[in-house]
Amino acid sequence: MTNSIHKTCGGHAPYTRRHFLFGAASAGLLSVHADAEITTSRPAVSLRKTARACIFVNLNGGASHLDTFDPKDGPWNPAGVALDQHPGGLVLSKLLFPKLSTLTGELLVLRSCASWEAAHERGQFYMQTAHTQNPALAGETPHIGAVIGHEKGAGNVMPPFLSFNQTNLQGATFLGGSYMPMMPVANRAGITTLTHPFFGAQSEQRFEERFRLLQDLDAPIRANPYNEIMGAYAGYYARAKSMMYNAAVDAIFKFTVDDENRYGATTLGRSLIVARNAIRANNGTVFINATQGGWDTHADQFNRGVATQNYTLSRDLDLAAGSLIEDLRASGDLAHTLVVIMGEFGRTPGPLNSRGGRDHYRPVMSVALAGGGVRGGRTIGITDSTGAAITSPQWKGDRPIYPEDITATIYSALGIDWTKGINDTPSYRRFYYINGAVEGRYTPVEEVFG
């Protein structure tokens, strides 16, 4: 990447004198009562408020920008790749993405994105939190889904944060059990433990009686939990109970075999059917993470003889994400649901490596957006002929778009002030939603909204 484009906003999520002075003064905050949240919000910002929920499709492993949303003509492409140019500068392979190729009017591709990290664990942490993976602070760095749940509230029957297929998921940390992600397995039968039918018609009554007894017995511990984990568990347990014997909740997690097949009959497809159902129900869920693993394609990425390669990965993503966009558009829910598709970094540009794959690559990656106020049928950002460098960022930041900027865009669409900070963490260190946002180093990509 050229030096003129690879600007770093003053550094990689740097700490400023303000951070240092706050740390020096933190002893004085020990006297602050922690019952009420203390927040800071400067300067005043303009929020888009175009979405009420976000579905985040996590391409775990780091999908190649060249083989997904920023393809180029070159000898590295497989036979029959069929790169089609669409209005607005979008290029997609009809071979790899036949369904999404029919939905380009809904898609916006950010081609001038970059990652701060080139290692999976650290890159995943950054993309999930918009923060560096610092062992000293990780315990007080919640997932953006938990932050969104905290901001939007947890007063409805469904948990605000759902997550599917993710093992290395950052939780709610100090925000508490009400904002921890619910992590069900998506299948046609739904969640069988939402009822306990052992006693027939008397089952619900007996369940309620036993739960009340448990509440009475546990009251002293819940009032004064031994530690934060126990307190978080108590909050999550109460929310789980509210979902029991609720037909509307039960229906969210069930689906037909026809839907399953249309979405690809895969773990990602089944997850996005439940995501669709939760969005349509509109009874509390505001952030849904659905992870598709397997994108760490260092070798054999176009070898149909191996189990996981780009043909199967692209097919599964295409069917699942394409069907989700189709269904949300048909029901009218796409207009207020922001769909984000991204991995933790890009992959090496140009020709494939000696093993027929691509390695980790931090300087360039692509992110696809749809719905939630996004104006589709376009691209933002231009890369060179091999996908090695950003030649034009095409947004007001005039630099690569980083995970912090993507997160700020999500927050703004959902009506959340991305410059906010919370003071009353367990350590009394201030948690910023996005480090550097107060100083203006990271901002929403306003261009996505047209």
Tell me the per-residue pLDDT of 316-350, one tens digit each, with 9 for 90 and over.
Answer: 999 999 999 999 999 999 999 999 999 999 999 99
Contact indicator for 407, 48 with CB cutoff of 8 Å: no
Contact indicator for 369, 321 with CB cutoff of 8 Å: no
Q: What is the pLDDT of residue 16?
A: 46
Token reading at 178? 């009400």
Q: Name all domains of the chain by residue range, CATH numbers in brackets.
A: 36-186+253-435 (3.40.720.10), 196-244 (no CATH)
Q: What is the DSSP secondary-structure string of 319-382?
A: HHHHHHHHHHHHHT-GGGEEEEEEESSEE--SS--TTSS--EESS-EEEEEESTT---SEEE-E
CA dihedral sign, ordered 6, 381, 441, 160: negative
Tell me the per-residue pLDDT of 91-136, one tens digit each, with 9 for 90 and over.
Answer: 999 999 999 999 999 999 999 999 999 999 999 999 999 999 999 9
The pairing of beta strand 53-59 with beta strand 287-292: parallel
> Which residues of the chain are modeled with pLDDT < 50?
1-4, 6-11, 13-36
Q: What is the pLDDT of residue 38?
A: 52
> How far, in Å, CA of 207 to CA of 430, rounded?
42
How far lies 70's CA from each of 88, 114, 222, in Å?
Answer: 13, 13, 52
Q: What is the DSSP secondary-structure string of 87-137?
A: GGG-EEETTT-TTGGG-TTTEEEEEEE--S--SHHHHHHHHHHSS---TTT
Q: What is the pLDDT of residue 43?
A: 67
| Per-residue buried b or exposed e for 283-313, using 16+ beta carbons within 10 Å of the residue's own CB | ebbbbbbbbbbbbbbebbbbeeeeebbbbeb
> How far, in Å, CA of 392 to CA of 382, rounded?
5
Q: What is the DSSP secondary-structure string of 230-295?
A: HHHHHHHHHHHHHTTT-HHHHHHT---HHHHHHTTSSHHHHHHHHHHHHHHHTSS--EEEEEE---
